[in-house]
Structure 1
């Protein structure tokens, strides 16, 4: 998918044009691929309060890759794990994820094997720079 975007639109960020397009940006509700963005533009894109006459709003209203009709693979989207969800519900006393729009892959037919690959986030370190949660320390004496 990245190769198709680079061939059609070039390798640079389609919003600022200053850095390489490192992220395939897509609409999380429809799955439609919008273009390649640098890390900075990808982080700040959704914070734009404008409806028009702003580069970020214009990008979202008329995505450069819209004409290509590419759909971002559901298997690569980030999803909250059930264990994380249950931990958040216990901590907060309510479900913070309830009602959020999600795209789900169609249920596989009985006996079918999934060909989905784990997402880059599932196999990489937490983006905050912290690794996994430290193991509990045993209080038993030697």
Structure 2
């Protein structure tokens, strides 16, 4: 069994089988945060393709999933991340770097001409 398959089963056993958002049946897709690489849970293909596009903070199943991912407590990193994403993840964890804060700082510096 490949490392990805083992990790997929571990996530499904701990966080639940089927889609964590809509409840669709089947094993689904292992969803991860594109900024941190951390696995969030199992989703159906439809929810996996659309969850990161959700603009809602409250009152939306996708927003609620993003606020409290069922597999977050496992702290597992998605297997086969690109080398660039993996290096960024390692630097982020070393420095406790917040990508959203970095974007805010970059925008501030651009407005000030720094």
Unaligned runs of 5+ in 2: 1-6, 89-114
Give the number of aligned pairs: 82
Greater helix proportion = 2
Q: Which residue is equivalent to 2:35? A: 29
The secondary structure found in structure 2 opposite 1:25 is strand
Say what the alpha-carbon RMSD is for the aligned residues: 2.1
Following TM superposition, where does structure 1 have runs of at least 4 consecutive aligned residues deviating by more than 3 angstroms?
none
Native 8 Å contact 2:12 2:41 kept in 1: no
Aligned with 1:58 (options 56, 64, 73): 64
TM-score (norm 2): 0.63
- From the superposition, tell whether residues 50 and 29 of structure 1 become closer, same or farther in structure 2 (CA, over 3 Å): same
Give the number of the structure whose alpha-carbon radius of gyration is greater. Answer: 1
- Alpha-carbon offset, residue 19 of structure 1: 2.9
Q: How does 1:49-88 map to 2 (within 5 A)?
A: 49-73=55-79, 75-77=80-82
Unaligned runs of 5+ in 1: 80-101, 107-142
Aligned with 2:23 (options 10, 17, 22): 17
